[in-house]
Amino acid sequence: MANFTEEAIKNKFMELLNRKPINKITVKEIAAECGINRNSFYYHFNDLPSLLEVILTDEAERFVESYSDSGSIYEHLLDAVDFAIQNKTAVYHIYNSANREMFEHYLDRISTKTVSDYMDNATRDLNIVESDYNALVLYYKCLLVGFVIDWLAQGMKYDLRDKISTIWKLFDGAMITAIERCEKVRVWD
């Protein structure tokens, strides 16, 4: 459990990141806004990238711990992109910074977790070859990551939730069909 000062630093950083790019935020500014000195900041974090890494790791852990087996894959995909939607400006600033790779790693992790957990539940009582299972997880993970990266690359000009909803309506049942095909006959043979 993080202490009060660490949480205050993380919250202030996210607040600032939702207002301006990461390269315009300083440790001095965060410390002043938190009512602490810079040494207190450095007691908890090495620098701004390490602070960002902790925030993204914490968010990924929160998502993984809060995952539920109920709901459709569509609902789980929306849950996976909620942090990005709720923190649009901050995520956009991270995406357009030297820390993009860190965000992409975070996105890849929660996307893989989302799809894997859904697939585990959907295939629990089925006999599916591991390579087919892994191919389906990879496919749907790449779709989710691709949606978010495209949304960011396009300047977040469209409603990501609406786009995912539309795509899901168009392809409703495709995942179940693919799972059924895996069970009936090995896809790659």
Burial label, 29 (beta-carbon count in 10 A; 0-12, 13-18, 19+)? middle
pLDDT bin (cut points 50, 70, 90) of residue 37 is very high
Q: How far is the C-alpha of 121 from the C-alpha of 104, rounded, in Å?
A: 26
The closest alpha carbon to 28, from 50, 4, 16, belongs to 16
- For the record, the structure tokens of 152 come out as 């960011």
Full-prediction pTM beyond 0.75?
A: yes
* Whether residue 1 has pLDDT greater than 50: no
Residue 93: its pLDDT value, please?
92
Q: Which residues make Cβ contacts (< 8 Å) with residue 145, sequence separation at least 6?
A: 104, 107, 108, 111
Alpha-carbon Rg for the chain in angstroms: 19
Average confidence (pLDDT) over 116-134: 87
Q: At what angle do helices 130-153 and 100-122 cross, to 10 degrees?
A: 140
